[in-house]
Structure 1
């Protein structure tokens, strides 16, 4: 169920006649251009697409984190090394 919810995450970003849809991993799964976008210089269009992919990827990642925080205990999720509890002590066998 958790995996299905994460797999279903898609986020969209649009500007200047370009629409990009990415999955949770930031991989583009759809890309659409209207006539406005087709009049742009290639390097400008490429920069716009990269920026939209980055924006949509950040949104998808934020949603993925939100889904995970519903399942994973807060003290285990996203804790920095200073916030993590120490590992359990290892008992050494005395032979």
Structure 2
């Protein structure tokens, strides 16, 4: 079966949604991490980490979020990343 880019993208987002639906399993502190609404949701964080290339974090953030005044800071990204267990990305790839 040949898949086009949109089908692959949809499968990826489905895998991310699967992990995000039970994010407490993949959070360092399940009772508090990813509970409040932030600029970097668990879904955005995982998508960013998977799509990140080899450029600097700032360049990768601009590529991902664009030149948006609401783009999070590199520090905010680092803080959110620290809340996510590595198993979250493993689960996305397994489900994908």
Q: State whether TM-score is above 0.5.
A: no
Q: Which has the higher strand share?
A: 1
Q: Which has the higher helix share?
A: 2
Q: So what's the TM-score if we normalise by structure 2?
A: 0.28
